[in-house]
Amino acid sequence: MKGAFKDHLVDWVAKYLKAMHGTKWSEEIMSNIDRRVAAVPSFSGLQYFPQGHDFKQWTGDDSKALMKVFLLAIEGHVPQDMHSMVHYVDMIRLFGAPNRLCSSITESKHIKAIKEPWWWSNRHNALGQMLVTNQCLDKLAGSHADFDLLLSYTMADENEPDAPAIAPQPDAPVIEPQQADDTDDAEIVDGPTVLAYVALAKTPYAEGMRGLEVVRVICFFSFKHNWEVYPCTLIQWFEKIGDCPDEDTGMWMVAPSFHEDGSRNLAVIHIETVFCAAHLIAIYGSEYIPHSLNFYHSLDTFGSFYVNKYADHHTFKIAS
């Protein structure tokens, strides 16, 4: 993943811009791309890149997080249909790995045997420390297996029919049975909450994005009427741009809705009509964004947005 994205796509973009615009102007464009990445609104579970793509040490997690926003950040600077990875399918079939070979197994072992022992070392002549760490981990794993085996034998012996019964001690304390816990796992419990700025609200008689409306949450509140509590939220409506996703990016486009007098199109909806959180990324076009723009200003600064279907796998299923 890191090779296909960082070593191929990101480096290709830099080389393309340099070939088309020269060194000085290509550096300015890459700087604007970095500002676009840094201006992406926050979203639960999505990594934030305040410096854009310009960081020294790339990891697999960095690549997976950055690729969720990089495509929209280069829009307007790189032709969207020029660098397509559709040829990867044929190349993998011709020169790819044998059937049933999965590299995730070796990657997981690489983390346990190399990365984590390196983090635990003092970084000075780390190889010897890493080897000792792996030896200790192997011995601990072997001891754990032995203890599990011994415990299984002990439990089997206790279940033998001719095992002698243990007489109760006369002075042993009496342990009262615990009361059953009436807490329902499905109930809402106290704990930390995450407030999303943008959400998808349900509309009937349609599937996917056609059956959902994008709204921006202003606040949550509740009121009581005839002794019944109604949890609600104040929202601003967003309007879909077109009746299908964008042809180049494959993402739906939306814009905030306003009345004729310029005021925001607000409404109060029941909280149960909120389906899930959504991540919006501005449609940058070919414009350059100022250095002073922060990510928490994006939703109020730009006039149209993409619904980022790559934010997580749930959104991908819904917004594709």
According to the model, what pLDDT value does residue 189 have? 43
The number of C-alpha atoms within 13 Å of 168 and in the hemisphere containing its C-beta is 6
> pLDDT band at residue 288, thresholds of 50, 70 and 90?
confident
Q: Are 106 and 112 in contact (CB under 8 A)?
A: no
Residue 110 tokens, joined: 């690489």
Please provide the distance, in angstroms rounded to a whole number, between the alpha carbons at the two ends of the chain: 21
Residues 6+ apart with CB under 8 A from 63: 1, 2, 5, 6
47: left (phi over 0), alpha (psi -120 to 50) or beta: beta
Roughly what angle, to the nearest 10 degrees, separates helices 60-73 and 11-38? 80
Range scoring the smallest mean pLDDT among 105-119, 133-147, 156-170, 173-187 = 173-187
Question: What is the tens place of the pLDDT at every residue in 8-29?
Answer: 778 888 888 888 888 889 888 8
d(CA 8, CA 316): 24
Question: What is the tens place of the pLDDT at every residue in 202-239?
Answer: 665 667 888 889 999 999 999 999 999 999 999 999 99
